[in-house]
């Protein structure tokens, strides 16, 4: 231990000459500099092969005030490495304008990890997927002339290289790569590109090669990996993502076997149930991977956190990104998962000397039984005894001893004799998460959002229907499409009362239809397909009638080949049937456009602007009105328990606290699915182990403590559907 610590990081910066050099060489044998390399077995850090245990914590999904505690809990949980993506779209919101402050302070986050004595795996991407808005790409990128994303396209490669260079040079100037004395031991370029390459062929292969050599050319002196990359370019390590990865083999047999995303659960979508993954099965997946030569595994996620603001992506991803991770969204321990995995890490650490210095000998003593033994020349021995039967326990004989194995489990014997851990034997009590109301009866005031009309001076007119994002540039979820139709007094429906039928086809994701300023109906897309069709009878009068369609996106897509080409908004056809003439097609009419809500342009979520409009309180409080802003003030509750808002009385919209956006709320979207018994035994299927069927997909919304002042906090809610704010409760999260 002493020797290895003497050969540690700081030495990279020491210029060693002459006698010193000889002296150090003697003490540290062959290792002189801080280095990171690898062989087929494992990563080698400062001359030492390591089994590396890693977990994903994404810095923008929590607050800087939460980071030290999350990192400490990760360390206490036995992690060696924190893995994070780099989120291009928050760092470069407009070309050349950078933001690395607050939740986006990447350098601060990495330095906190370093202070805790852990390493960093930096996944620069810059395509990151991650259920993050637009997969991490800034929306402006899509509008660079001639650009095509994630392929052999010059304008794209220029922008991508620019950002990757920016991040690498930041890391270098802060001395954050391991050979410089920093914590970063590996980086990632691109992300899950294999499936795209498979689909697009030659240009994809050329692009992947370019990406790898561009990255390697930046000379970070730490290895680069590419995950889910079936044809890895030579200079990078191909790695596996999944629920299980024991059968994965790197294409190059001299690369180590790495598991970059071991899914600890799954994300939740509005309209879908909440997935869970049992701790026993995660531990089983880890043990299977390690007993098959695996030497790096990363929990995706270790702390999932929150999609604050409008950062959740367009698969209706919820504001909560809890992911059923070992540390929950609120930073509390998710038990028994956290402790069960912590105990697993202790067992693996005991096995490390044998694991890094030998290959396993595998035997099959009986049906569904498997024994892996690692025996090093220096005498270390570790054994893994497996039972792959999902139903029945079994007895395994190993070196004249008998061992009982529960179904679907692996026992770990760090000395080849004594079982210190079994993946299916959980010794920690489950946590009992609760939300306890601390504030009821908040006193609300309301402001009704005005329906714009195409004659307003802040609208513009175009012929036909246009893609939503090309209009909003994603500065808002909302885009108004407005047109006026003239109804002749001799129209038959005016006399018969048979109202005409309005049909609106939209590429998604949600739609509110206003006729002459009154809400006439609402429609929204489904989980698999975000396209929607609104069909409803509409009340029209003789003369001019205003049709105003408010289309809302719920995040931009983040996945799929050329996901950036998917459209959103009302693209038509839009038709009116039941007129004297039969059907009138409004698709090619002249349409007025207005980006965003009036309340958004006045920044009603912020303290200053909220006093600039007439708010109605008391008897003039809006009652269950659609398209209404609500505000109230509250004091911070005592103590340190994490806080949330129970939004179960509301429909759909957005929430701000003291001007900071908590995210989108949509408790009105009820989870469809089959919830039922969740057994740990048997291959995990994310379509099972579901919770909250028939209930809102997300009821509670995290309010970070650090966003509150002791008193007079401003809470603003924009509500689309006409929910009842008197039901909103501030709650404390406890486990």
Ligand X SMILES: *[C@@H]1O[C@H](CO)[C@@H](O)[C@H](O)[C@H]1NC(C)=O
Q: Are 208 and 196 within 8 A, CB to CB?
A: no
Distance (Å, rounded) from C-alpha 636 to C-alpha 705?
A: 8
Q: Are 584 and 508 within 8 A, CB to CB?
A: no
Distance (Å, rounded) from C-alpha 482 to C-alpha 547?
A: 6
Give me the least distance between CB of 172 and ligand X, in Å please: 34
Give me the least distance between CB of 374 and ligand X, in Å please: 10
Distance (Å, rounded) from C-alpha 327 to C-alpha 659?
A: 27
- CB neighbour list of residue 618: distance below 8 Å, 6 or more residues apart: none
Distance (Å, rounded) from C-alpha 332 to C-alpha 734?
A: 8
Query: What is the distance between the terminal CA atoms of the chain, rounded to a whole angstrom?
Result: 38
Distance (Å, rounded) from C-alpha 281 to C-alpha 277?
A: 7
Nearer to ligand X, 3 or 362 (CB): 362
Nearer to ligand X, 293 or 343 (CB): 293
Secondary structure letter of residue 642 according to DSSP? -
Nearest CA among 332, 666, 298 for reference residue 509: 666
Two structure tokens written together for 674: 């089959």
Distance (Å, rounded) from C-alpha 381 to C-alpha 399?
A: 12
Nearer to ligand X, 293 or 446 (CB): 293
Please name the helix (run of DSSP H) or strand (run of DSSP E) that holds residue 701, with its range, or none: strand 700-703
Distance (Å, rounded) from C-alpha 198 to C-alpha 216?
A: 23
Please name the helix (run of DSSP H) or strand (run of DSSP E) that holds residue 480, with its range, or none: strand 478-487
Give me the least distance between CB of 360 and ligand X, in Å please: 5
Distance (Å, rounded) from C-alpha 55 to C-alpha 75?
A: 10
Contacts 24+ apart (CB under 8 A), 161-164: 161/214, 163/88, 163/91, 163/92, 163/126, 164/124, 164/126, 164/189, 164/214, 164/215, 164/218
Nearer to ligand X, 256 or 569 (CB): 256
Two structure tokens written together for 121: 């795996």
Nearer to ligand X, 83 or 239 (CB): 239
β-strand partners of 634: 713
Give me the least distance between CB of 358 and ligand X, in Å please: 9
Give me the least distance between CB of 517 and ligand X, in Å please: 15
Longest dimension (CA), the chain: 105
Burial class (CB in 10 A: 0-12, 13-18, 19+), 574: buried
Secondary structure letter of residue 244 according to DSSP? -
Nearer to ligand X, 603 or 726 (CB): 603
- CB neighbour list of residue 40: distance below 8 Å, 6 or more residues apart: 253, 254, 255, 256
Q: What is the DSSP string of 422-453?
A: ETT---SPPP--EEEEEE-S---EEEEPPPP-
β-strand partners of 186: 121
Nearer to ligand X, 285 or 648 (CB): 285
Residue 338 CA neighbour count, 13 Å, CB half: 21
Residues that bind ligand X (CB under 6 A): 40, 253, 292-293, 359-360, 362, 457
| Residues labelled as active-site residues | 192, 261
């Amino acid at each position: 231990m002493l020797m290895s610590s003497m050969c540690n990081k700081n030495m990279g910066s020491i210029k060693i000459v002459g006698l010193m050099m000889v002296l150090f060489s003697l003490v540290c044998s062959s290792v002189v500099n801080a280095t990171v390399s690898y062989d087929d077995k494992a990563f080698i850090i400062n001359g030492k092969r390591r089994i590396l245990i890693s977990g994903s914590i994404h810095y923008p999904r929590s607050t800087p005030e939460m980071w030290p505690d999350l990192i400490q809990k990760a360390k206490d949980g036995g992690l060696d490495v924190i893995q994070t993506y780099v989120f291009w779209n928050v760092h470069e919101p407009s070309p050349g304008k950078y933001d690395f402050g607050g939740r986006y302070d990447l350098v601060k986050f990495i330095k906190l990890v370093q202070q805790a004595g852990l390493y960093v795996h930096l996944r620069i991407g810059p395509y990151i997927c991650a259920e993050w808005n637009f997969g991490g790409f800034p929306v402006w990128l899509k509008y660079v002339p001639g650009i095509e994303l994630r392929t052999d396209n010059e304008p794209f490669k220029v922008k991508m290289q620019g950002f990757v260079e920016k991040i690498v040079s930041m890391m270098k100037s802060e001395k954050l790569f391991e050979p410089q004395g920093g914590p970063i031991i590996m980086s990632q370029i691109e992300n899950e590109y294999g499936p795209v390459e498979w689909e697009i062929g030659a240009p994809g292969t050329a692009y992947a090669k370019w990406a790898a050599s561009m990255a390697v050319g930046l000379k970070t002196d730490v290895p680069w990996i590419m995950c889910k990359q079936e044809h890895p370019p030579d200079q990078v390590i191909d790695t596996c993502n999944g629920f299980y990865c024991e059968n994965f083999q790197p294409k190059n047999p001299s690369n180590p076997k790495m598991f970059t995303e071991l899914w600890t659960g799954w994300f939740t979508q509005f309209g879908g149930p909440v997935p869970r993954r049992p701790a026993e099965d995660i531990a089983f997946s880890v043990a299977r991977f390690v007993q098959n030569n695996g030497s790096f595994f990363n929990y995706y996620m270790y702390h999932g956190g929150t999609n604050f603001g409008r950062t959740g992506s367009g698969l209706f991803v919820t504001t909560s990104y809890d992911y059923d991770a070992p540390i929950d969204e609120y930073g509390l321990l998710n038990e028994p998962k956290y402790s069960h995995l912590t105990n697993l890490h202790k067992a693996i650490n005991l096995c490390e000397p044998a694991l890094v210095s030998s290959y396993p000998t595998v035997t099959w003593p009986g049906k569904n039984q498997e024994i892996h033994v690692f025996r090093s020349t220096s005498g270390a021995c570790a054994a893994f005894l497996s039972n792959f039967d999902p139903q029945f326990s079994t007895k395994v004989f190993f070196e004249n001893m008998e061992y009982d194995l529960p179904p679907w489990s692996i026992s770990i014997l760090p000395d080849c004799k004594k079982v210190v851990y079994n993946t299916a034997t959980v010794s920690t009590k489950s946590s009992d998460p609760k939300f306890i109301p601390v504030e009821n009866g908040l006193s609300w005031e309301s402001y009704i959002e005005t329906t714009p009309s195409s004659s307003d001076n802040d609208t513009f007119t175009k012929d036909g229907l246009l893609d939503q994002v090309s209009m909003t540039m994603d500065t808002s979820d909302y885009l108004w499409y407005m047109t006026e139709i003239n109804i002749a007094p001799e129209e038959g429906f005016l006399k018969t009362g048979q109202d005409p039928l309005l049909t609106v086809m939209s590429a998604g994701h949600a739609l509110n239809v206003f006729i002459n300023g009154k809400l006439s109906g609402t429609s929204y897309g489904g989980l698999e397909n975000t396209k929607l069709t609104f069909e409803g009878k509409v009340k029209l009068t003789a003369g001019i009638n205003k049709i105003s369609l408010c289309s809302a996106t719920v995040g931009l897509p983040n996945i799929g080949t050329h996901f950036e080409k998917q459209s959103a908004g009302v693209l038509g056809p839009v038709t009116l049937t039941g007129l004297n003439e039969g059907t009138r097609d409004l698709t090619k009419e002249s349409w007025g456009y207005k980006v965003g809500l009036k309340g958004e342009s006045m920044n009603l979520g912020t303290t200053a602007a909220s006093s600039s409009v007439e708010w109605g309180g008391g008897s003039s409080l809006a009652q269950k009105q659609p398209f209404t802003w609500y505000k109230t003030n509250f004091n911070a509750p005592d103590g340190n328990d994490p806080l949330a808002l129970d939004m179960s009385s509301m429909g759909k919209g957005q929430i701000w606290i003291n001007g900071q956006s908590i995210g989108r709320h949509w408790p009105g979207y009820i989870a469809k699915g089959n919830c039922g018994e969740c057994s740990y035994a048997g291959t995990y299927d994310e379509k099972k182990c579901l919770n909250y069927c028939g209930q809102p997909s997300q009821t509670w919304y995290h309010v970070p403590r650090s966003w509150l002042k002791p008193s007079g906090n401003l809470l603003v809610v924009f509500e689309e559907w006409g929910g009842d704010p008197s039901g909103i409760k501030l709650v404390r999260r406890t486990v």
